[in-house]
Amino acid sequence: MIAFALVAAVTAATTGALTFREARTGVLQQSQDTVIKLLRTHVDRLAPDLAFPPREPGLRQLATDVAAAEPAGTWRVLVVYGGLRATSDPDDPFEEVTPALRRAVDSSRATVFQRVSTGEHTSLVVGMSVTFAATGTGFAAASGIQVFLSVPQRTEAAYVDELVTAVERATVPALGLAVLLALLAARGVLRPVRALRRATRSIAEGRLDTRLAVDGSDELADLSHTFNETAAALEESVAELRGMEARARRFAADVSHELRTPLAAMSAVTDVLDEDADRLDPDTATAVRLISEETVKLARLVDDLMEISRFDAGAAVLHLDEIDLAESLRSTLAARAWTDRVDTDLPPPDTVRGRVDPRRLDVVVANLVGNALRHGARPVLLRLYGDGTQDRAVIEVLDSGPGIPADVLPHVFERFYKSDAARTRTEGSGLGLAITAENVRMHGGTVRAADRPEGGAVFTVELPLRRDESDPESVR
C-alpha cells in the first residue's frame, strides 16, 4: 500500500521538477541570447566612432552611448582599454567583472557571459572584445578594447518564481491525485490478497469452514474461487475422516464394553476354578488352570483397551493433586510387593513435590518398573530427581538386561508392538507402554527409551511440576 503511494508520489514530483528545469533553462537561454545580440549590435554601431588609440573620454562616451542604447535604462556598461577604464555611470565600481572573466575575454574572440549572484539579485554579465573590421588576411584583429555589460535579471527571476509557483500549483494536486489513485489501486489489489492471507491462516488453524467473498471477475476473483473450492473439498475430506475415526473409536469402546459382561462372569469364578483344580484329574486341572489364567489376561487386556479408547476419545481426565513424588513412587512399589526387587534412589521426603494425577503416575511407574522386571534383568533401579530449576521431575527406570535392539527402540511406545516372538508370550497386553506414554503426555511431560552404554535399558520420564493455585478438591 505504502509502496504504491510512494511510487505515485515520486513520479508526480519528478515530473514537476523536470518540467520546471526545462522551462527555467528555456527562459534564461532566451533572455541571455537577446541581451548578447543587442549588445553586439550596439557595439558594432558605436565602436567605429571611437578614435584609436582611444582616450578616457572616448571610452566613457562609448560606455554611456551603449548603455543609453537600451531604452529601459537597466544596462550598466564598462569599457576597458589597457589600463584605462570607463563606466556608463561615473561612480560605478563594477565589481561583477572578475579577473577570471577578464582573462576569458582576453583569450577568446567570442562573447563571454556569466550569471552572477550578488545577494538577492542575479545579474547577467557579458563581456566581448571590440575587433577591427576584417582585413585582406580574412582575420579580424583584436583592438584591445573590451566592453562589459551587466544586466539585472529581475524579470527573469520573477518569471522563474512564477514558474516555481505554477509548477507547485500543478504538481501538488497532481501529487494528491496520484497518491489517491495509487491507494485505490492498492486497495483493489491488496484487499483481496490480504483476505486470502487471512483465510489461509484461518484454514491452517483448523477453521475449515473459512470461505472468501468473491466479487469481480479478475484473476484475484478466480484465485478466491479456487481457494473456496479447495477449502470446501478439504472440509469434506476432513469431516469424512473424522467421522470414520469417531466410528472406529466408538467401535473399540463398544467392543471392550461388551466384552466386560462375559468377562465379569468368568473372572468371578477363576478363583473357584483354581481352588478346585487340585482335586481334578491332571488333564482337566491343566485345562481349568489355563482357562483361569487366560481369563485374567483377557480381563487385563480389556481394561487396557478401555483405557486406550478413553485416551482416543479425549475422555481421559486428569485429577491433579499436589503430592510428594518420592512417597508416591514408594507406594507404587509397596502396593505391588516390588520393594525388595527394585533398588531406589529417591530424594528425601518433600523435596520433590508437584501437581500430578496420583493414579496416572502410579500407572506410569508401575508399567515401567513392571516392564523392567519382566523384560530386563535385575538389578532394576528406580530413580527420581528434580532438574536444576525444580520445574520438572525426572523419573528413571534402569534395568540390567540385554537392552532394547536399535530397530525396536523407536517403536516401544506403539500399541501392540512386539519386538520378537518371545515377548508375545509374556503377560503384558502390548498396550502398557502406549498407556504409559499417553499418561505422561496428559501431564505435559515426555517419556523416552534408550540403551545404557553399560548394558540394559533406561526409560526416562520428565514431568512438569505444576504448582498453580487451583483447588486440589476440584476432582469434578
| Binding region for other proteins (CB under 8 A) | 257, 260-272, 275, 296, 299, 302-303, 306, 310, 315, 317, 319, 321-323, 327-328, 331-332, 334-335, 353, 355, 358-359, 361-362, 471-473, 475-476
- Segment (H or E) for 292: helix 282-312
- Cell numbers 508370550 correspond to what residue? 425
Cβ-based nearer residue to other proteins, 275 or 387:
275
For the bound state, the minimum distance from the C-beta of residue 426 to other proteins, rounded and expressed in Å, comes to: 20
* Sheet with 142-152, edge to edge strand ranges: 84-87, 76-81, 142-152, 121-131, 112-118
Q: Which helix (H) or strand (E) holds 250?
A: helix 219-277
Q: Give the rounded distance of the alpha carbon of 138 from its chain centre.
A: 79
Give the residue from 46, 121, 31 showing the smallest Cα distance to 79. 46
Longest dimension (CA), the chain: 166
Instruction: Find out whether 93 and 134 touch, Cβ atoms under 8 Å.
Output: no
Closer CB to other proteins, residue 184 or residue 269? 269
Cell numbers given for 405: 535392539
For the bound state, the minimum distance from the C-beta of residue 396 to other proteins, rounded and expressed in Å, comes to: 20
Q: How far is the CB of 265 from other proteins (least distance, A)?
A: 4
Least Cβ distance, residue 244 to other proteins (angstroms): 24
Strands 353-356, 392-398: pairing kind: unpaired
Q: Which three cell numbers stand for residue 402?
A: 540385554
Q: CB-wise, 71 or 279, nearer to other proteins?
A: 279
Question: How does DSSP classify residue 314?
Answer: T
Q: How far is the CB of 467 from other proteins (least distance, A)?
A: 8
Residue among 266 and 408 whose Cβ is closer to other proteins: 266
Least distance from other proteins to the Cβ atom of residue 237, Å: 31
| Residue 284 amino acid letter | T
Instruction: Identify any residues that bridge with 458 across adjacent strands, giving them in sequence order.
Output: 398, 450
Which string of DSSP letters, residue by residue, matches 176-234?
HHHHHHHHHHHHHHHHHHHHHHHHHHHHHTT-TT--PPP-SSSHHHHHHHHHHHHHHHH
Q: How far is the CB of 432 from other proteins (least distance, A)?
A: 16
Q: Among residues 238 and 269, whose Cβ is nearest to other proteins?
A: 269
Report the nearest approach of other proteins to the CB of residue 446 (Å).
Answer: 22
- Measured from the CB atom, the residue of 144 and 464 that comes closer to other proteins is 464
Q: Which is nearer to other proteins, 68 or 306 (CB)?
A: 306
Taking the least distance from each CB to other proteins, the nearer of 171 and 309 is 309
Q: Which of 185, 232, 182, 178 is nearest to 208 (CA)?
A: 232
Give the shortest CB-271-to-other proteins separation in angstroms.
5
Rounded least distance, CB 245 to other proteins, Å = 20
Distance CA 318, CA 295 (A): 30
Name the 3-class secondary structure at 432.
helix
CB neighbours of 233 closer than 8 A, spacing ≥ 6?
none
Nearer to other proteins, 49 or 350 (CB): 350
Axis-axis angle for helices 282-312, 432-442 (nearest 10): 30
Rounded Cα distance between 191 and 186, Å, is: 8
CB burial of residue 174 (10 Å; 0-12, 13-18, 19+): middle
Min dist. Cβ of residue 337 to other proteins (A): 10
Residue 264 vs 377, nearer CB to other proteins: 264
Q: How many residues does the chain have?
A: 476
Q: What secondary structure does DSSP assign to 116-136, as a single string?
A: EEETTEEEEEEEEEEEPPP-T
Q: Which is nearer to other proteins, 212 or 361 (CB)?
A: 361
Query: How would you classify the pairing of strands 446-451 and 342-345?
Result: unpaired
Q: CB of residue 304 vs other proteins: minimum separation in angstroms?
A: 11
CB nearer to other proteins: give 198 or 297. Answer: 297
DSSP letter assigned to residue 410:
G
